[in-house]
Amino acid sequence: MDFATALQILDSTVRLSTPLLLACLAGLFSERAGIFDIGLEGKMLMAAFFSAAVAFVTGSVWLGMLAGIASSMALSALHGLASITFRGNQLISGVAINFLAAGLTVLIAQDWFSQGGRTPSLIGQARFEPLTLPLADTLQTVPILGPLYHELISGHTLPVYFAFLCVPATWWILYRTRFGLRLRAVGENPAAVDTAGISVIGLRYAAVAICGLLCGIAGAYLATALQAGFIKDMTAGRGYIALAALIFAKWRPWYALMSCLLFGFLQAVALRYQNIDLGPVTLPVQFMDALPYILTVVILAGFVGRAIPPRAGGEPYVKER
C-alpha cells in the first residue's frame, strides 16, 4: 500500500466516522444521564430528511440544518416524554422512534415531492461545500506533511470539523462543568441529585435535547454534505453502529472518538479492499462489515476490560414519597 492510497483510506475514514461520532456523542449525553437511546438511527433519519427537504425548498443549507435539528429534537422530546415524564420503557420508546422515522420520512417525502420517498437533488447553496483550509494549496508541495494536510485535514465540509471539535467540548462539559457533574450523577444516582435539590427531570430533558441536537447535525451531514438529497433509509444502520461504538468506548468522549475512527476505518478499508489477502487466509468483505459488532461483543464479554453502563441507565426516576 503506497502513501497516496493510505491517505485516501484515511480521508474516507474521516468522512465515514463523522456521522458515527456525532451520533455516538449524542448517545453519550443521553445515556450518561440515564436515558438509553436506541432511537439514534431514527433521529438521524428524520433530520436527514428534513434538512434535505428544507434545503431544497429554501435553497439554503443552513435553514435545512436548522430544520433537521428541530425535527430530531422533536423526536427527542417525544422520547423524553415517554421515558422521563411517563416513565415508559426507554428501549421500546427508542424502537418506536426508529419505526416512526422510517415510515414518516418516506410518507412526507412522497407527499411533498412525489419522487417516491426521496427529495430532489440539492445543488449550489443547498449543500455543504468542502472547505479548503488556509495554506492548504501552498503547502501541498511539502513532502509527507503537505499532502497529509491538504488531503486529510483540509477539504472536508463544515460538520466534519464541528464533529471533531465536539469531542473536547463534550469532555469539558461532562468533566469540568457543574452541569456535567450533575448530568453524570443523574445517570448514576438520581436520588442523590434529587436530595441536593436539583431537578432530575430537568437534567434528563436537557441531556435528551443535546442528544437531539447532535443527531440532527449528523442527519444533516448525511443528506446535505455527504449526499445531495435524502433517500429512504439512508442512515443504513449507522445509528446502531454508533451505539456499538458507544459501548466500545465505555461511555467516554475520547474513547468515543477512537472507537468511531476505528469503525470508520474498518468501513473505509472494507470499501477499498473487498477481500483482504493476508497470505494464507483471505478475509472476506463480510467479515470486515461485521467486525464492529464482533468487537463490541468481545468488549461486552469482558475480554478487553469491562464496559459498565451508567448505573441508573434505563430506569425511570421515581421520587420516594
Partner 1 sequence: MTIMKTILGAAASVALASGAALADPALIFDLGGKFDKSFNEAAFNGAQRWAEETGGSFNEIELQSEAQREQALRRFAEAGFNPVITMGFAMADPLSTVAPDYPDTKFAVVDVTWLDVPNVRQIGFAEHEGSYLVGMLAAMASETGTVGFVGGMDVPLIRHFGCGYAQGAKAVNPDINIVANMTGTTPAAWNDPVKGSELTKAQISQGADVVYAAAGGTGVGVLQTAADEGILSIGVDSNQNHLHPGKVLTSMLKRVDVAVYEAMKAGEDLETGVFTLGLAENGVGYALDENNASLITDEMKAAVDDARQKIIDGEINVVSYYENDSCPALTF
Out of 73, 203, 226, 257, point to the residue binding partner 1 (CB under 8 A): 226
Residue appearing with cell numbers 499532502: 147
Q: Which residues pair with 277 in a beta bridge?
A: 282
Residue 124's alpha-carbon distances to 36, 74, 129, in angstroms, are: 38, 28, 8
What is the x/- site pattern for partner 1, positions 184-203, by CB under 8 A?
--------------------
Question: Per CB under 8 A, which region of 79-87, 185-193, 222-230, 307-315 contacts partner 1?
Answer: 222-230
Q: For partner 1, which is the closer residue by CB, 58 or 115?
A: 115
Q: Is 97 in the site for partner 1 (CB under 8 A)?
A: no
Name residue 286's amino acid.
Q
Question: Per CB under 8 A, which region of 35-43, 68-76, 112-120, 185-193 contacts partner 1?
Answer: 112-120
Q: For partner 1, which is the closer residue by CB, 60 or 227?
A: 227
Question: What gap in Å lies between CA 172 and CA 191, rounded to an integer?
Answer: 25
Q: Which three cell numbers stand for residue 315?
A: 430506569
Question: Per CB under 8 A, which region of 1-9, 134-142, 177-185, 205-213 contacts partner 1?
Answer: 1-9
Question: Per CB under 8 A, which region of 85-93, 117-125, 131-139, 250-258 contacts partner 1?
Answer: 117-125
Give the nearest distance from C-beta 147 to partner 1 in angstroms.
13
Give the nearest distance from C-beta 17 to partner 1 in angstroms.
12
Q: Is 250 in the site for partner 1 (CB under 8 A)?
A: no
Q: For partner 1, which is the closer residue by CB, 150 or 184?
A: 150
Do 119 and 68 contact (CB within 8 A), yes or no?
Answer: no
Q: Is 237 in the site for partner 1 (CB under 8 A)?
A: yes
Give the nearest distance from C-beta 228 to partner 1 in angstroms.
5
Residue appearing with cell numbers 421520587: 319
Give the nearest distance from C-beta 184 to partner 1 in angstroms.
33
Give the nearest distance from C-beta 300 to partner 1 in angstroms.
22
Out of 80, 117, 219, 313, point to the residue binding partner 1 (CB under 8 A): 117
CA 276 from centroid of its chain's CA atoms: 28
What does 265-295 look like in DSSP terms, one character per residue?
Answer: HHHHHHHH-SSEEETTEEE-HHHHHHHHHHH
What lies within 8 Å, CB to CB, of 46 at 6+ separation is 68, 71, 72, 75, 101, 104, 105, 219
The end-to-end CA distance of the chain, in Å, is: 66
**What b/e readout covers 202-218, taking b as 16+ CB neighbours within 10 angstroms?**
ebbbbbbbbbbbbbbbb
What lies within 8 Å, CB to CB, of 178 at 6+ separation is none
Q: Is 228 in the site for partner 1 (CB under 8 A)?
A: yes
Out of 222, 242, 256, 261, point to the residue binding partner 1 (CB under 8 A): 222
User: Please, where are the H alpha helices in the chain?
Assistant: 3-32, 40-58, 61-80, 90-113, 145-147, 158-176, 178-188, 190-195, 200-220, 238-248, 253-272, 285-300
Q: Which residues in the 258-317 window bind partner 1 by CB under 8 A?
A: 267-268, 271-272, 274, 285-286, 289
Q: Is 121 in the site for partner 1 (CB under 8 A)?
A: yes
The footprint of partner 1 (CB under 8 A) covers: 4-5, 8, 12, 15-16, 106, 110, 115-118, 121, 222, 226-229, 231-234, 236-237, 267-268, 271-272, 274, 285-286, 289
